[in-house]
Structure 1
Amino acid sequence: MAFTTVTTYEKPSEHVALPDWYSRLYELRQTADNKSRDAYNLRHEGRQLRNETDIKGKWDTYHNNVRLEDRVTEVTRWRDVLQQCLNSVDDEIRKLTEEKSTTERTLEYLNSPLSVIAESLAMRDARSGADLVQDEGDIEIKNELGVIEALKQMLTAKCQTAWEQLNRLKEAQFKLQLDLGNKQDAIDIDRQNLEMDKNCSGTSYKPDPLRIPKNCTPYESWLEHSRYNKLLADNEIAASIKLREAMYVVRERAYNDLKAQNDATDYALRLRVYETQRAKNELEWQRKKMAEEMAKVMREIEDLEEAHLNKTDGLKLAETRLENRIFRPGPELVQDEAQIGLADEVLQLRQTRQDLMDKINAAKATYNGLEELLLRMDSDLDNKNHAMMTDLRCIDIRKRLGMSDRAPPPTQTDVNIQLTRMEDEIPKS
């Protein structure tokens, strides 16, 4: 080691050789270049990833917004369709309820003819004697009773069917209302989601957003459910319309059948009144003839009794003469012509008196028979008067059937208006 005048200090560690120093510098430069290249690639990949994720996120959001809009449109369309069905169901419920009420009023209207028929039968049963007969009037009234009972059963069955149909319509109405409420809630939720963006304050992480709820249904099931509700409503509306038409036809047929039977019954009663009046007139004429004949018979009896009395006086005279001639004296007590003539006269007068008495008895028997027949005629006339008044009262009672809501219109114009169903079109004065 060389001798120096300056004191120097060196680290005790080993010094790096110059080639090693150049080698280390080269290594550092290579490492820096690699790191720079890696950093550049990282920045490039990061920028590319940012751009790709931004673009993908924007397009995903756009597509999901379109899907949400399409979903809102689809659900809104189904909501409008179901709302129209619900309106139709509500309108059909109203119409069917009115038709059912009209049919029930018709049933209540039939109670009036039933009371009239019962009163008519009771009144006609009050007839007496030979006029208590099973005539056409009784037959037609009982036929009318059968017609009304059949109509009541038919209308009652229609009312029951209408009540069941109303229940089905209300069930369809409830299902539509429930489905419409669910669809409206779904529309509101999806529209709220459409209004949200990534800068909204309400966004946050959720515990398990990818979970599928237990009651979640596939799209096909949802579509089938909506179609089922619409089809159910349409079917119930069609069935209700058919039922309303059937109820209208049955009700009109009931009115027509009842009107036809009423006319037949009224005709039978009027015919019976006519026949009773004709029989009454015949009996009155016969009674008048019978009374005249009785008066003639009475006068004949009086004449016969007077003749009998005259013959009695004549017989007394003839017998007295015969008795006086018995006291003729001696040979003068002879059977002469006078004696024979007086005896013949007595026999003839006795026979005449007997004939007259027989005739008087026969005349009295005839008079009694005529009087008994006259009493029977009087009783029969009373029965016929009572029967005719009964039928007339029945006809008056049955006039109440024409004072109901189903009475015929007073004028031909009203008839035409009713036939053409223009009541609602014509303004009321």
Structure 2
Amino acid sequence: MHSIQRSTTNLPWRSSTYYGASTGNKLIPNARSMPEPHLDDYRLGALDPVKIPPVFSAARSNLYTRYTPTDWNICNVVNGVVTEKVVAGSEELRGNATRLCKELDDKTRRTQEDVSRKLGERIGNIEQWKSEVKAEIDDMVSEIDALDKAKTCLAKTQLDLDVPLKIAEECLYSREKRRGIDLVHDEVEKQLIKEIDILKSNQENSRRLVEDAAAQIALNRAALHELEKDLDDKLVALNLDNNCHRMKDSTRSLHYYDGVHRVDNSTSIPVTWAQFSADNIRRSRAERLRSRDIRKSIEGLCNGVMDEVNDQWNRVNDALEDRLKEYADAKNKLQYNLTKTLQEILDQEKAIELLRVSIREKDSPLQLAQTRLVTRLRRPNMETCKDSAQHRLVGEVYEINESVDILRAKLRQSENALQHLLKTKLSLEHDLDIKNNSIVIDREKCLGIRRNYNFPLARCIYSF
């Protein structure tokens, strides 16, 4: 609004009547220096007998405006009375004007002081709300930083779970390479499946909480933006009101702005103004409360993940160690049985060889007995006596054949036993190879990689 320069005739300290015509007595014309005569007798109407010498030819026209001495005396008296009356009226008016100026000056001063007091109260109110908004901004900034750190830690935990999950899956896939009887659904496999379920479940919970934290951070920043905007507005208003509060009548750069008092650009009243900041603070506190709950959930999840996954990791390792002990015991038994089987095979082969030698050794006695019988068949006539020698030779042949049959039967049995021993040896060697393969899988490919891997959750400790 542009300032309007006033003329000197409109200044409040200089009366506009100074240059105007004052009100006088209506009986005294303004164009005359004395009042009109009240009686016709006093008029100089009959100037015929009066002979005024012609002093000046130009003064002849004034002969008809002459007054009498009585008119002159009356005029002086009237002038005195009028003067006293006008002066008295002026003095009364001047006193009233002085008193009015003082009263209005006092009223203006009191009003100005009241306005300054109101401005001071307003500045105090703005300072109070500014402090509360600033404190809430600081709390919200701290909360956003804490939630962001918690989200970062949880996201790192979620990523860190990928490696244990891959290791668990790799162990499960590696154990699928077990062969034969060792391909069982043992405790290790059960614990590995449970570990995979735990890791995937925690990853899903972590992902969900990371999304919730990201959404909450956005809400926190929106509330922070409203607070910062409110604070900026209050700083501007505080600066303007401070400038207004410091202004005095002697302040420079004061101007007239006619009609400014009729301009109303207000958008709030004190109640709604305070309610606006209170609503912003209330919203910010509500968002901070939800943010704190999410941080507690993140803290609980991180601690729960660390404890649960570490415990399951150790249970799998313990199950693998127990299984390796079982493998070692089974392997030792297989080794012992294989050793016994090999020794028995060696002994059985010796026994078979002994039986074969014994069978071969029966050939000569059988040939001898049969040769003797054949030789005795050539005895003549009555000499072919069936004597005791003949009976014994025949019995010897039967006895030797029976012995050979027994030895051959025993040889077949021994050979069959040897075949069983060889099959047992092959089975034991196969089982031993299976056990060695299982031991390599569980010890080298499973337990070895799990022991060499430094579990990340043990060092992912975040102070909330």
- Please classify the TM superposition score into its range, dividing by the shorter chain length: 0.7 to 0.9
Corresponding residue to 1:346 among 354, 375, 397: 397
Partner of 1:204: 256
Tell me if 1:56 matches 2:56: no
The structural deviation recorded for 1:330 is 3.9
CA distance in 2, matches of 1:403, 1:238: 33
Judge conservation of contact 2:178–2:438 (CA < 8 Å) in 1.
yes
Partner of 1:237: 288
**CA shift for structure 1 position 15:** 8.4
Partner of 1:253: 304
Give the alignment's TM-score, normalised by structure 1. Answer: 0.86
Secondary structure at the counterpart of residue 339 of structure 2: helix
- Do the aligned residues in 1 keep the contact of 2:348 with 2:418 (CA within 8 Å)? yes
The secondary structure found in structure 2 opposite 1:278 is: helix
Q: Return the alpha-carbon distance in structure 1 between the equivalents of residues 348 and 458 of structure 2.
A: 61
Contact kept in structure 2, 1:280 and 1:384, CA below 8 Å? yes
Q: Would the alpha carbon gap of residues 348 and 5 (structure 1) be closer, same or farther in structure 2, given more than 3 Å must change?
A: closer
**Structure 2 counterparts to residues 88-99 of structure 1, below 5 A:** 88-99=139-150
Matched residue of 2:257: which SS?
coil
Change over 3 Å in CA distance of 1:27–1:78 after alignment to 2? same
Matched to 2:101, the amino acid is R
Identify the residue that residue 442 of structure 2 maps to in structure 1: 391
With structure 2 as the length reference, what TM-score do the two structures score?
Answer: 0.80
Indicate which of 170, 180, 184 corresponds to 1:119: 170
* Greater Rg by CA: 2
Q: Deviations over 1:364-392 (max 9, x none)?
A: 11101111111110111111122112221
**Residues of 2 paired with 1:128 and 1:237: CA distance?**
58
Query: Measured at CA, do residues 264 and 5 of structure 1 come closer, stay the same or move farther in structure 2, by a change above 3 Å?
Result: closer
Q: State how 1:313-332 maps to structure 2 within 5 Å.
A: 313-332=364-383
Mapped contact 1:112–1:401 kept (Cα < 8 A):
no
1:424 alignment counterpart: none
What residue is the counterpart of 1:47 in the other structure? 98
Partner of 2:237: 186
> Structure 2 stretches of 5 or more lacking a match?
1-45, 54-59
1:69 aligned residue: 120
The CA distance in 1 between the partners of 2:216 and 2:197, in whole Å, is 28
Which residue number in structure 2 is paired with residue 358 of structure 1?
Answer: 409
- What residue in structure 2 maps to residue 273 of structure 1? 324
Query: Cα–Cα, structure 1 residues 247 and 2, in superposed 2: closer, same or farther, change >3 Å?
Result: closer
Question: Alignment RMSD, CA only?
Answer: 3.0
Aligned to 2:18: none
Distance 2:72 2:66 in 1: 10
Does structure 1 retain, via aligned residues, the 8 Å contact 2:334–2:432?
Answer: yes
Residues 249-278 of structure 1 deviation map (CA, whole Å, 9 limit, x = unaligned): 221121111121122111111111111111
The answer to whether the aligner puts 1:298 opposite 2:349 as a matched pair is yes
Percent sequence identity over matched residues? 22
Distance in 2 (CA, whole Å) between partners of 1:270 and 1:202 is 92
Question: Helix, strand or coil for the counterpart of 1:209?
Answer: helix
Counting matched residue pairs gives 410
Asked whether 1:131 is paired with 2:182, we answer yes
For residue 246 of structure 2, the aligned residue among 188, 195, 205 is: 195
Structure 1 counterpart of 2:262, one-letter code: L
> Could you tell me how far apart the structure 2 residues matched to 1:266 and 1:291 are?
36
Per the TM alignment, residue 338 of structure 1 is displaced from its structure 2 partner at its CA by 3.8
Give the structure 1 partner of residue 197 of structure 2. Answer: 146
Higher helix share: 1
Q: 2 CA distance for matches of 1:78 and 1:204?
A: 33
1:92, 1:237 within 8 Å by CA — same for their partners in 2? Answer: yes
One-letter identity of the residue aligned with 1:163: A
Q: 2:314 aligns with which of 254, 263, 269?
A: 263
| Offset from partner CA, 1:141-186 (integer Å, 9 cap, x none) | 1111111112212222222222122112111111111000000000
Cα distance in 1 for partners of 2:408, 2:459 equals 71
SS of the residue corresponding to residue 249 of structure 2 reads: coil
